[in-house]
Structure 1
Amino acid sequence: MRPTSSTTSALDQHTPTLRDIQRDWDALHADRPRTEVRGDVGEDVSVIDWAEVRRREDALRDRTEHPKEMLRTADRGCRDTLAQVRSSLAGLQPGSSTASFTRSQAPEGAWQVFRDHGLANTRADEALLARIAQAEDPNAVRALLDELDQERLAGFLQRNPHVMAALATDYEPRNADDAVLSGLWNAIGELENGQVTDPRAIADIRDYWAGLTPQEQQRMRLLYPTLIGSLDGIPVEHRAAANRLLVESAIDIEQQRLAILQAMPDNAATREDVLQTVPGWYPDWVAEKIVDGLMHDKAQRLLHDFRLRDQEVERSRKRLAFYNNLLAPKSGLRFSDVTDDSGLVLSGDHRAILLFDPRGDGRYAEWQGEFDTENVGIFVPGTTTDMANIAKYRDNMAKVARRGTSTITWMGIDLPNSVASDATQTRYSEDGGQALLRFVEGLGMPERAITAVGHSAGGGIVGFADVYGMDVDRTLLIAPSGSGLGLHRPLPWPLDPWGAKPSTPESYPAHTWDDEARDVQRFTMTAPGDTVRLAQESENVRWWVGLPEDWGHGNDPIDTDQFTRLETGRWLEPPPTLRLPEGIEVGDRLEGADAHTWVVTRFTDSWTNLVGVMTGGEVIPYREDGDWINPDNLYDDPGYPGTDPVPIDDLESPWEQSQPEIMAPGPVDGSFGSGGGST
């Protein structure tokens, strides 16, 4: 479509302003402000003043808000017009009619305008589609697509997601006739579940990719998106560009899946069939209670995963909503587009999806915030998380990213579907720990401060990645299934080339997987009464319960002085437009079974700690009073005003923190030392 007059006016009026701001941004980073600090031996040392850099960046972002909003308003008007045209065309086209019939219903000359602007297939495109329909395998499809120049190829794939579906199912593409692809495989070596088996290959992948021309990189993203979009070592913006095509294809496939599910018998019919098979000696009311209990949503999450039809329909609808949301432009994601000599790589208002595999429950990772921040936080969710519900965690991480810290929501493995039958198995932590280590290595950001945060089963994953030697600066295990320590059995990973010890240790290694020294700050928190304590204590009771060797996720991190314990605390006052969960009031303590979810919820002290660890800011330490035999959490007292947050680097050591404030009668406040642990 040609721009409307209002769009043209908005472009003429506001584009120069944005260009000026972009020049100021480039100038700021070309000559960052510096400040003088005292060196180790007393000398003055000039360093980049990052606080001033961020202040100026925020000021530049503020300057963009008005012109960007005006352009967004004009753009929405243009899109609304285009949507009306498409809707009108769809209404003109009877079911099963041909494209030529649809063209005949359009106003004279309109179809040529659509073609000129890449909104409709040309006659040559339609002829190519007919040839593609006869192709026998993905490589045959790629050979036909290679006939298009790459600018046309990108638009062709966007207009015809069913063609991308032929490529989206080829997860380990091989083509001896493609020299660039073969060269990449030489760097990869082998893949297992979409990841390189030897993490040392990641550096080779990164170097090989950097040696390709921008045009070669673009072609690889377009023709081999499943490989490029998930391959550790490929730059994040290139992975995101490849995965965007996969999301478009996944929408097409999920719509077909939903149609099949809706045609199947619903839960009510299934329930009647099951009741007919229950042995006759059960009274009807007993059989009904058993069946209804097993079919209930909570039972599916806690005990098993039956994948009943009605629940699957709901999951499918949520996945479709999530996929469509991933493709919707969103202003303010990043300050600018990413471009190279081939053109646009990733628009500043497009989501940066670093991993997208819709098979099963799905694998997914998304970057939030700018690409050049000092701090990068990676959040790993826990049991029952899948493509249908990962958005709530992604949205929370987006809120952290607004504080100037990049965040990544990472679901790099198929997470447990239920608590009892799945989450107890060690393999989830083992497999996830290996995958997370490789993912971090693939980011290639040794100069950044990287924090890995794991919740519930995600805590066990982060713990195991730490055991393997993941290269991060901070970890935070929130209500974790375990720490990965103290299992006392052989590690499953082929560690021989690395020279690692053959069994899980009692302490984390001081070196990374590739034998580089590391200094990791480790934090943990679990709310009182959280039932995850049963999992955390599994190693302590294994000997008398007789748990199998493939159950459990290591020792409770609270039991080791390698972790600084943080306070989960209470509910905080939300903004006037938001409300706390039903039955919760400001000042209520996080405790009980529901606290397992609440600890990663905003407007809580635990959320303050999550943000503080990710950003390297302030956190609330856990403190006790009483004596060494019966220490009590200071928050056990409802009248306790709360512990003030302290800078993360000013925290006491884990050993010092474990010493309770000894309380005794006294004339003033009845305490020795700091007076009740208000540190």
Structure 2
Amino acid sequence: MSLPALGPVPDVRADWDTLADSAADLRTGSGKAWDALQDAKGSWAGLRTGYRHDGTSERVWAGLDLLERPAEDWAGALSSAQDAIDDFVTTGEPLQRRRETLEDARPRLAADCSSALASGDESEIARVRGDIIAFNDRIADLARAWGSAQDTFVAAVRSISGGTTEGLAVVGAPRVETGALDWAAMTSGLDTTFGALDPRTLWRDLRGLSGEELRDWLEANPEAARALAENAFPRHPVPGSAEDVMARAMAGDAPLTRDGITGIREAWLGLQEHERERLMLLFPGVIGTLDGVPLATRGAANQVTVAGLREQTAERLAEHRAHRPPHAPGNAYERSQWEDEEARLETVLDGLTQAWDAYGRPPFPEDQRTPGYTTLFVSAEGLGQIVTMRGEPSAATERAVTFVPGTTSTIASVDRHNDALDAMDGHDPGGTVSIYWQGTDLPQELIRDNATPHFNEQGAPSLAAFDHAADLEMSSTRVRDVATTYVAHSAGGSLLGTAEREGLDSTNIVYVAPAGTGHELSSPDDTQNPSAHRYLIQTNDDPISAAQLLGGGAHGGSFWEGSDPVRQMGAVRLESGFMGNGETVMGGHSDYFDPRSTSARNIEGVVYGTEVRPYLQPEIHTIIGSPYPYIEYPLEADADHYREEGIPSVPVEETR
């Protein structure tokens, strides 16, 4: 016995998103020719009363009258083309879904056919024969519907007429060469000329541009950059579209979990290259901040985001200043609130300007200039948040270093802290990826803001999520693990420790005068990173020691035990030593990242696994007749000796 053959499923497919975008472009463009003509006539009408010239004014009006009918016809032609495409998309998308359903059913039906023939059961064979006939009928119906849809579309397009130059006078004068066209500035001010900017049209201007060309375009079109940066991801994307794929991957708390971030990365890499480019340019404020998207892609997308937020913040600041409350009795509180908001907007604008300028600087300068960097995350909320990167993960990457700053850091600290990162990352463009992470609000008031674990708990999940994404990308570029080092200063130290509790892991942890080990952390076993090599750098007179002693409830395991990275976390203390000039003994809380200082070189030694200078232990002397011992610090007591002989160093391996 035999069964009918399964027919081939017709190849019903098209890039419906692109077609829909094209229809939207036509919808926008259909009125542009007519509107531009009316603008020209309106402008000339304004001049007509004050300017009269027999040789030109009547010619202008005659020329504008000649253009009126073709302009109207052209607008009508574009509108007809838009209707034809919209109708084709409306008809074709359901047909493609029918094709996908048939393709999914075909393997199962083929298996049923083989099983029925092998069984020899006539009733089973008859059932399968009926299924095959019904399947082939559905194929035939789909083929007819698809053919009809294409024929209807072709006929609709061919029927479009009008908008040609027929009947217009031919211009015989030679074209005058005016030099190179400033293409980047051509669209500047389009929101004034043509109304609200449509991101679905704008992103097309950016396809295929180099980083420098993109920067030129964004510089010339800040209002367009803002429209793109503010463009929100669709709430109900077309099923099966690239937006739908990413929306499903991003759903819920996926951007904060290891499995979710893995799913986001797989979904992104599963898209076609042109789809990734479209989403990156159309939704830069979403894609540029999404953990799981490759870091280099985020850096490229956020050049648009930074430019757009900069324009947004500048406009908001100007509007805010236009409503300055007057000095008046009883108006002090309102005036104070206004001044606080002005200062906040100024801070955010300063940071965004720094981030924008960084895209135009070399990431590894040969002199002492602040290095350039790309932005991996940016927000204008509060005092601003930002994450930056120098270098890119690749097969050549051997190590990564991430710096987490402390109290008083805002988005406007980004250049200063990238200078600090530059002092400790070894200036290795090929082998080292250097990241600055301030992707959360940080304490601004030394006592009040650090009195609770609020900032630690708020930022730790985001820092852990970023670490998951970075680790995932680093591991995918090499056959061996990339050595990672986290360096955290002040309040950043307890934030980092809290993130370790949430899942952050790293080869090395360097505490630089930390506020504590992390909220609810009393030992490495309280983290998900117990095997990390840990180090502490802190001057002998750093006032942070008081916070470590008294702030354990917010920054450590408990109030009663305080917070001590050496005692609790097993950290090896390294010497803070001398400032970069080699003469001044380092003191206080803020100079640890002075270029070529002992502390900066110690951090670099940990990052590269070379050598470090252990802490010079103090000598405790008992004074006869006094209940208090005398503590002598070798570096302060004999600074000249260590300036001449150097502070003893050991291989990093000996500290582990």
Give the TM-score, by structure 2 length: 0.60
In structure 1, the residue matched to 2:652 is 648
Q: Given that residues 572 and 603 in structure 1 are in contact (C-alpha distance below 8 angstroms), is that contact kept between their aligned partners in structure 2?
A: yes
Kindly, what percent of the aligned residue pairs are identical? 23
In structure 2, the residue matched to 1:364 is 386
1:121 lines up with 2:180 in the alignment? no
SS at match of 2:387: strand
Q: Deviations over 1:313-370 (max 9, x none)?
A: 7535633541441232437579xxxxxxxxxxxxxx9732211222221221111235
Shift of 1:198: 2.5
Which letter maps to 2:650?
A: V
Alignment counterpart, residue 213 of structure 1, candidates 272, 282, 285? 272
Q: Deviations over 1:234-259 (max 9, x none)?
A: 11110011101011112212322342
Q: Given that residues 429 and 553 in structure 1 are in contact (C-alpha distance below 8 angstroms), is that contact kept between their aligned partners in structure 2?
A: no
Number of aligned pairs?
456
Q: Distance in 1 between matches of 2:236 and 2:351?
A: 32
Q: Distance in 2 between matches of 1:555 and 1:181?
A: 46
Change over 3 Å in CA distance of 1:329–1:571 after alignment to 2:
closer
Shift of 1:622: 1.2
SS at match of 1:424: coil
Q: Deviations over 1:257-303 (max 9, x none)?
A: 3424544659xx86x868979xxxxxxxxxxxxx9xxx9xxxxxxxx
Q: Given that residues 329 and 350 in structure 1 are in contact (C-alpha distance below 8 angstroms), is that contact kept between their aligned partners in structure 2?
A: yes
Q: Distance in 2 between matches of 1:350 and 1:634?
A: 40
Alignment counterpart, residue 161 of structure 1, candidates 196, 211, 222? 222
Shift of 1:149: 8.8
Q: Given that residues 236 and 352 in structure 1 are in contact (C-alpha distance below 8 angstroms), is that contact kept between their aligned partners in structure 2?
A: no
Change over 3 Å in CA distance of 1:523–1:451 after alignment to 2:
same
Q: Deviations over 1:206-245 (max 9, x none)?
A: 1111111211110010111111111111111100111010
In structure 2, the residue matched to 1:223 is 282
In structure 1, the residue matched to 2:540 is 528
SS at match of 1:454: strand
Q: Given that residues 459 and 478 in structure 1 are in contact (C-alpha distance below 8 angstroms), is that contact kept between their aligned partners in structure 2?
A: yes
Mark the structure with the bigger radius of gyration: 2
Alignment counterpart, residue 596 of structure 1, candidates 553, 578, 589? 589
Shift of 1:383: 1.2
Q: Distance in 2 between matches of 1:418 and 1:403?
A: 34
Change over 3 Å in CA distance of 1:412–1:566 after alignment to 2:
same
Q: Deviations over 1:135-192 (max 9, x none)?
A: xxxxxx344457779459996973533233234235665342271111112122225x
More helix by share: 2
Change over 3 Å in CA distance of 1:189–1:556 after alignment to 2:
same
1:613 lines up with 2:585 in the alignment? no
Which letter maps to 1:236?
A: L
Q: Given that residues 188 and 201 in structure 1 are in contact (C-alpha distance below 8 angstroms), is that contact kept between their aligned partners in structure 2?
A: yes
Q: Given that residues 173 and 224 in structure 1 are in contact (C-alpha distance below 8 angstroms), is that contact kept between their aligned partners in structure 2?
A: no
Change over 3 Å in CA distance of 1:316–1:183 after alignment to 2:
closer
In structure 2, the residue matched to 1:59 is none
Which letter maps to 2:572?
A: T
Shift of 1:450: 0.7
In structure 2, the residue matched to 1:354 is 376
Alignment counterpart, residue 245 of structure 1, candidates 304, 308, 319? 304
Q: Distance in 2 between matches of 1:161 and 1:181?
A: 25
Q: Distance in 1 between matches of 2:339 and 2:511?
A: 30
Matches within 5 A, 1:500-511: 504=521, 506-509=523-526, 511=528
Change over 3 Å in CA distance of 1:316–1:227 after alignment to 2:
closer
Q: Distance in 2 between matches of 1:622 and 1:130?
A: 67
Change over 3 Å in CA distance of 1:527–1:190 after alignment to 2:
same
In structure 2, the residue matched to 1:130 is 194
Q: Given that residues 437 and 470 in structure 1 are in contact (C-alpha distance below 8 angstroms), is that contact kept between their aligned partners in structure 2?
A: yes
Shift of 1:423: 2.8
Alignment counterpart, residue 185 of structure 1, candidates 247, 254, 259? 247
Q: Given that residues 229 and 243 in structure 1 are in contact (C-alpha distance below 8 angstroms), is that contact kept between their aligned partners in structure 2?
A: yes
Shift of 1:617: 2.5
Q: Given that residues 174 and 181 in structure 1 are in contact (C-alpha distance below 8 angstroms), is that contact kept between their aligned partners in structure 2?
A: no
Matches within 5 A, 1:5-24: none
Q: Given that residues 451 and 551 in structure 2 are in contact (C-alpha distance below 8 angstroms), is that contact kept between their aligned partners in structure 1?
A: no
Q: Distance in 2 between matches of 1:643 and 1:148?
A: 58
1:635 lines up with 2:635 in the alignment? yes
Q: Deviations over 1:622-647 (max 9, x none)?
A: 13254699675432423452532222
Change over 3 Å in CA distance of 1:423–1:264 after alignment to 2:
farther
In structure 2, the residue matched to 1:458 is 492
Which letter maps to 1:638?
A: D
SS at match of 2:299: helix
Give the TM-score, by structure 1 length: 0.58
1:257 lines up with 2:300 in the alignment? no
Q: Distance in 1 between matches of 2:567 and 2:177?
A: 71
Q: Distance in 2 between matches of 1:553 and 1:315?
A: 38
Q: Given that residues 469 and 509 in structure 1 are in contact (C-alpha distance below 8 angstroms), is that contact kept between their aligned partners in structure 2?
A: no
CA RMSD of aligned residues (A): 4.3
Alignment counterpart, residue 429 of structure 1, candidates 416, 441, 456? 456
Shift of 1:377: 0.4
SS at match of 2:447: helix
1:174 lines up with 2:235 in the alignment? yes
- Mean CA deviation greater in 463-472 or 435-444: 463-472
SS at match of 1:403: coil
SS at match of 2:308: helix
Q: Distance in 2 between matches of 1:330 and 1:614?
A: 22
In structure 1, the residue matched to 2:504 is 470
Q: Given that residues 579 and 598 in structure 2 are in contact (C-alpha distance below 8 angstroms), is that contact kept between their aligned partners in structure 1?
A: yes
SS at match of 2:181: helix
Matches within 5 A, 1:329-344: 329-330=361-362, 332=364
- Mean CA deviation greater in 405-414 or 368-377: 368-377
Which letter maps to 1:190?
A: G
Unmatched tracts of structure 2, length 5 or more: 1-42, 48-59, 61-174, 476-480, 623-628
